[in-house]
Amino acid sequence: MAPPMGYEIIIIVILGVVLIFGAKKIPELAKTFGKAKGEFEKGKLEGEKELNDYKNKEKID
């Protein structure tokens, strides 16, 4: 039997998550994951802005 690839592995992971956490807990986990992703993106943009500001300051000096 060949190892699972592509969509098969995604289905296996989803089934595993449902078995571990239960169907009622999934929306809460998705909400938490969404918030964490949003905070990560916000931090990433903030870091890029600071880096660009620093580069622009170095060019002026």
Q: Please indicate, yes or no, if residue 46 is contained in any of the structural domains.
A: yes
Instruction: For residue range 37-59, list pLDDT tens digits in order.
Output: 999 999 999 999 999 998 888 77
| Residue 7 to residue 14: CA distance in whole angstroms | 11
- 57 is a domain residue: yes
- Domain region containing 30: 24-61
Q: State pLDDT tens for residues 13-35.
A: 989 988 998 888 888 988 999 99
Residue 8: helix, strand or coil by DSSP? helix
pTM, two decimals, is 0.57
Domain count, the chain: 1
